[in-house]
Amino acid sequence: MSPIRSEPHEVDAQTIGREGNLTFVDLTWKEGQIEQWVRFGHPVCEERIDHHRRRFGFAPGAVFGVNRWAANAYGTVLSRFDILRTARPGSPMQTLPYLRPGGTLLLSTHGWPKVERVLQAIDAIEALGIDPADASPDYWRHLHNRLATAQPAHPYTRLQHRAWLKRRSLGL
């Protein structure tokens, strides 16, 4: 299975013990058939279910990106990218087949041309020295909407990032 870009960090036993606080992402990796991986984000725990499956746990409010790809004998049958923010206790959430209990979908796209544009946007954010998991959720929504309407997206900037960090520090 392909490694994730961010290795899981250690958290206290109390956090892991309260499973209700974590959001779990189940991913499968069968080389050349089904390849699912966390492109960015900071899982706090990881469980290897079997040779092909892993489960990652994310803290409440964490943002991460999941790339899912599948093929058969005739070529690619699925190319999908989702960016999610994990649910906080008591907050509304969406459910997805690979996500438990759920989260907020900030961006969801399918088809290689759109997935490629998302990956390019992530690379551009990383080129600025910004962790994509710390980027503004509003930017991911903007990118989602621009992809859905086949319009070019505005690039993420350091100025936008500073504004987001200040807004987040104020709890807005």
- Helix ranges restricted to H, the chain: 13-17, 112-127, 137-148, 158-169
pTM, 2 dp: 0.86
Q: What is the mean pLDDT of the chain?
A: 89
The residue ranges of every structural domain in the chain are 13-169
Q: Tell me the pLDDT tens digit for each residue of 78-126.
A: 999 999 999 888 888 999 999 999 999 999 999 999 999 999 999 999 9
DSSP 49: -
Instruction: Give yes or no for residue 134 having a pLDDT over 90.
Output: yes
Distance CA 59, CA 23 (A): 7
Q: At 98, is the secondary structure helix, strand, or coil?
A: coil
